[in-house]
Amino acid sequence: MNAGSGRLELGRLRVPGRLARAGIDEVLVFRVPLRHRFRRIDVRDGLLLHGPHGWGECSPFWDYDVTESAAWLHAGLEAATAPLPAPLRDEIPVNVTIPVVGPPEAAGLVAASGGCTTAKVKVADPRSTLAEDCARVEAVRQALGPEGRIRVDANAAWTVDEAVAALTELDAAAGGLEYAEQPCPTVPELARVRARVDVPIAADESVRRAEDPLAVARAGAADVIVVKVQPLGGVLRALDVVEQAGLDAVVSSALDTSIGISVAATLAGCLPELNHACGLATVELFDGDVTDHPVLPAGGVIPVTRATVETPVGDAAAPPGRLAERWAERLDALCGELR
């Protein structure tokens, strides 16, 4: 088994008529295990769409309803069937993502990150106490050295008071945080936290899962916005959000395969300014990939290039029938949401 396929399962689906008319000539379903439990899942699965401009990805998580997931299909269609803007840069600095692991493993992930000098550390997970989060951050600081940047991601887990208390401790453990990503669920809460702490605040869920992704900027609730191609409905839509928000932007992964990561790298390459490393080194969290040439960091950067699916990818097996059936049913429902 080659390095590209790992434990990947990959198979073809029927192309719905709506997608065929849009220019899609192939639809694949994939499933690949994760090396560490992440976002409370152990396996990543989704769809890959091929069209005249290459491959796109549509991999909404299963807890997303059809209406929210339709943006993900739009992003995959755009990538496969439309020309994307020409990038302004040919490589993107990226951060290593540290899931909820012990300090020795966290330090090891930094060492094995392909030269990343920025780390995003997951915190506020039900499996981890604040003391354990601080120990993980301290280990990452030791591994990165004093010049490295550390950001933490709480995935909207805290109240305002909890966020203020936790960020004070985490900032001390890090010797200074670059920013804290989505410490609280709502825009007003983010604004209150931002007013009470010295740590810069980044908004993720309040952008990608919001009916109004610009509300956080209008409220002065964040210093940085995190943009993700699939949840925002494509590269063009994400560029529009960044322009209107007028804030520093970080392009991040939606836990995509190399297909989605390469499209996200194109978005990052098109930003007028890029002042922070992007969260696009997450393919290393997968035990395999849908290409024999995974988009992985080297020297702390990834290239701005479009990934392709080699068919078949190594010796990947077809997914079990029920998984393919579920995605076929979901795809039909998503096609009904297209406008």
Residues 25 and 50 sit within 8 Å (Cβ to Cβ): yes
The reply to whether 289 sits in an annotated binding site is no
Which of 271, 233, 237, 257 shows the shortest CA–CA distance to 306?
A: 257
Which residues are 248's β-sheet partners? 224
The reply to whether 171 sits in an annotated binding site is no
Total count of residues recorded for the chain: 339
Catalytic residue among 31, 228, 276, 306: 228
Query: 120 an active-site residue?
Result: no
* Residue 26, φ and ψ in degrees, nearest 5: -155, 140
The reply to whether 68 sits in an annotated binding site is no
Between the alpha carbon of residue 91 and those of residues 87, 88, 189, 251, 273, the distances in Å are 10, 9, 35, 13, 13
52 burial level (CB within 10 Å; 0-12, 13-18, 19+): exposed
Catalytic residue among 31, 50, 122, 141: 122
- Write out the two tokens for 315: 């010796």
Catalytic center residues? 122, 228
Q: Which residues are annotated as a binding site?
A: 153, 181, 204
Task: Please give the annotated binding residues for Mg(2+), written as ranges.
Answer: 153, 181, 204
